[in-house]
Amino acid sequence: MAKLNRAPLPLAAEHDTPVPMRDGTILRGDVHRPASGGPFPTMLVRSPYGEGSFRMTPTIPALEAGFAVVLQHCRGRGSSDGTFRPWLDEGTDGYDTIEWICAQPWSNGEVVASGMSYLAGCALQAAATRPPGLKAVVASMTPHDFYDGLKYHGGAFALGSALNWGSMQSMLDLLHRTAAGEDVGAGFGALLPVIGDPARAARTLPLRDIPAIPWWQEWTSHPRRDAYWEGLAETLRHDRIEVPVMHTAGWFDLFLAGTLENHRRLGGPLVIGPWSHGPGTAGTGALDFGFAASAAAARLESRQLEFLRGADRGPAVRIFVMGDNVWRDEEAWPPARAVHTRYHLHSDGSLSTDTPARTAPSTFVFDPRDPVPTVGGPLLLADATNVGPQDQREVELRHDVLCFTTDVLESDIEVTGPLQVTLRAATSAVSTDWTAKLVDVHPDGRAMSVIDGILRARTEPDSPAEFVISLVATSQVFKAGHRIRVEISSSNFPRFDLNPGNGRTSAESTPDEFVVQRQTVFPDSHITLPIVPR
């Protein structure tokens, strides 16, 4: 019988430890540390999601690695006092908390910060304030900017994720105020219908009239990058971050572009798995990538702790190559050996590297009252099953979705790196959206989505122009016997809000103001694929 020679690790824990901020607000959290010895370096995690979110923090592994651990609620959340204001206070509150930690007798004066999503943003915003005690950050699946890639993508409002996250934060706000003894019955009355039927809420028009989310009017009233968003950007100044940062991304995460941009600006190790927002499981959407694809099998948590300890010896970049379903180490992102290759969108529905002939363009009619539904993708919707790679065949039956497909591949084609679709197109409206989706067509007919993007455009009606749609990035091997497909349309709802076609936004438009849009896509349009030689 195997026997493990392990000694117990006595721990000391303190619940709801008060930490004063510079404005007098008291934030609270839990402190975990070895009961004897020290002083210790400390891992700080700050969250706006309440106590339950801390159960996903690797507290015991961090303690075993020699850290004390501080799990703190953001202001106005959990047991912390104050009012929660998304993104505004996290830098200064993080700075004050790190200063408090360094002053404790059990601290050796060194702090590291870790988190995913908003929690990672807290860590990066704190790093941007340059607290002397902060030594390293692990930032997973988090945006680089609060306008671009968070609330707006390609100029289109990220309706689905904004509604889902805003509703959740509104509920947490009401629960926090209830715990403080306030009467918030009216708030619950307004919010519960939104949470209970998010699909119906998403169709509210004008969109700004969705109730019960405190910040909704601000988000929808600033569709362009203006002083509102620039003010928020000042809380995440990459040029002020000096500590080393490790980045974790997912090919199907809605913050893939943000994580890649954080890595580009800050450097540091990068790991990209075939994951959606958070789980790190072997299966995402309708595909299972095999046991090795999981974050646990990849020993991601162990490597993150090694990085925080200053002992990481892993590769600069590690990516999961979908299709082959293997991990691969790279010297840098994106791989320099990729050959950027144009595949043209021919009017006969074919997709190839052949020079397009001078043929009639492809056309479709788009009615924003009947948008193309969101089926899979890098999502954070109320429906957690609608995420990642999903079969697009039903979507492709619509009259307002153009499909361009290669012949059956005779050999594998690996696409790894950033990619984009360049449309030469025209619309009859004064404004429209152009959407693009990369699809892997399997031999059995399944059309599995890989990545998608959107661009909101204003043009002269019926005047051809060039539109570039970012599809962010992927690492996908299209196997022999498969086909590569590109879908083009003008909506992806409710992932993105509707474009009324009248020059205004859905936040300020009613259904009777929507304009039917006649779309034209010319055959010199193309997708640029970063093809890695094999």
Give catalytic residues, as residue numbers: 117, 253, 277
Q: How many Å apart are CA 212 and CA 378, to the nearest integer?
A: 26
Q: How many other C-beta atoms can be found within 10 angstroms of the C-beta atom of residue 480?
A: 12
Residues in the chain: 534
3-class secondary structure, 300: helix
* Cα four-point dihedral sign 300, 305, 311, 316: positive
DSSP 60-120: HHHHHTT-EEEEEEPTTSTT--S---TTTSHHHHHHHHHHHHHTSTTEEEEEEEEEETHHH
Name 304's Cβ contacts closer than 8 Å, sequence gap at least 6.
58, 114, 138, 246, 248
Q: Are 400 and 364 in contact (CB under 8 A)?
A: yes
Q: How many Å apart are CA 403 and CA 211, to the nearest integer?
A: 38
Name 120's Cβ contacts closer than 8 Å, sequence gap at least 6.
114, 137, 138, 139, 140, 141, 142
> Closest Cα to residue 198, out of 381, 390, 385?
381
Q: How many Å apart are CA 131 and CA 139, to the nearest integer?
A: 17
The two structure tokens encoding residue 252: 């199907």
Q: Are 52 and 2 in contact (CB under 8 A)?
A: no
Task: Name residue 400's amino acid.
Answer: D
The two structure tokens encoding residue 100: 């408090």
The two structure tokens encoding residue 144: 């680089």
3-class secondary structure, 425: strand
> Closest Cα to residue 102, out of 110, 90, 91, 94?
110
Q: How many Å apart are CA 267 and CA 284, to the nearest integer?
A: 28
> Closest Cα to residue 93, out of 180, 18, 203, 19?
19
Name 274's Cβ contacts closer than 8 Å, sequence gap at least 6.
250, 251, 252, 284, 287, 289, 293, 320, 322
Can you list the alpha helix ranges (DSSP code H) found in 326-485? 393-396
The two structure tokens encoding residue 502: 């009248």
